[in-house]
Amino acid sequence: MSTEQFSVDGDVAIVTGSSSGIGRGIAERFAEDGVDVVVCSREQDNVDPVADEINDSDADGEALAVECDVTDREAVDALVEATVEQFGGVDVLVNNAGASFMAEFDDISENGWKTIVDINLHGTYNCVQAAADHLKDGGGSVINFASVAGQRGSPLMSHYGAAKAAVINFTTTLSYEWAEDDVRVNCIAPGFVATPGVESQMGVSADNIDREEVARRIGTVEEIADVTQFLASPAASYLVGETITVQGVPQISEEHDV
């Protein structure tokens, strides 16, 4: 059976928010498959080790670390320029950078609300618009990151859920507008994932997760990277404007006879 259609070898990808967790996992997976990848976060010291580890490994792809705050348009423009200067273009853009905090809606200040929307929604806008010309030059792929909180809402996450719901809608609209430019735009809405941050807060370690177990509600970074690579690859050529929910067993309402 051929598996070449799942390969992204030879592409150039930008992965935002890639100093750790899901973003780092995606960058490492891409590099293993021959993608030259640009990793970025708000602190250079946080992404330098990621790039160094990739470049010191047996991965076929190279890595470049760039400091970038996705809410700063000038910094995002510089990120894209550095990518093109180093690797010659941009084929894949993964908008993974995001942030949140838990609070009742009544306790969220205007500044807190704007901060979360700015990072999760406006940051996505900045990156997509800055990379637009390069993505359209020969066709490319945009993979936005939303959340199950943006699909069904989540207590204490009204600001985050609202921003991620907007990312989902943005994905649908942009996919329609950019289809004639041969750019596929899709979205991933992760559920509970065992990232280092989750482990430190909740004590759930990825080492204790069996990927073959179907009946579970927590995934691994590697499983999100699998879906991301699929969306970036030719195997997903007929997937346009979709949001893929990656959450394990779905939450459903169970009715019982009284």
In the chain, domain spans:
10-245
- Residues 199 and 157: their CA atoms lie apart, in Å, by 20
**Beta-carbon count within 10 A of 244 CB:** 18
Q: What is the pLDDT of residues 153-202, one digit of tens each?
A: 899 999 999 999 999 999 999 999 999 999 999 999 999 898 876 665 55
pTM of the model: 0.94
What is the spatial order of strands in the sheet that 12-16 belongs to?
A: 63-67, 36-41, 12-16, 92-95, 140-145, 183-190, 243-246
Choose, from 125, 160, 176, 238, the residue flagged as catalytic.
Answer: 160
Active-site annotation holds for 125? no
Q: What is the pLDDT of residues 55-89, one digit of tens each?
A: 999 999 999 999 999 999 999 999 999 999 999 99
Cα–Cα distance list, 3 to 8, 74, 186, 212 (Å): 11, 40, 21, 21
The correct answer on CATH 1.10.238.10 for the domain covering 10-245 is: no
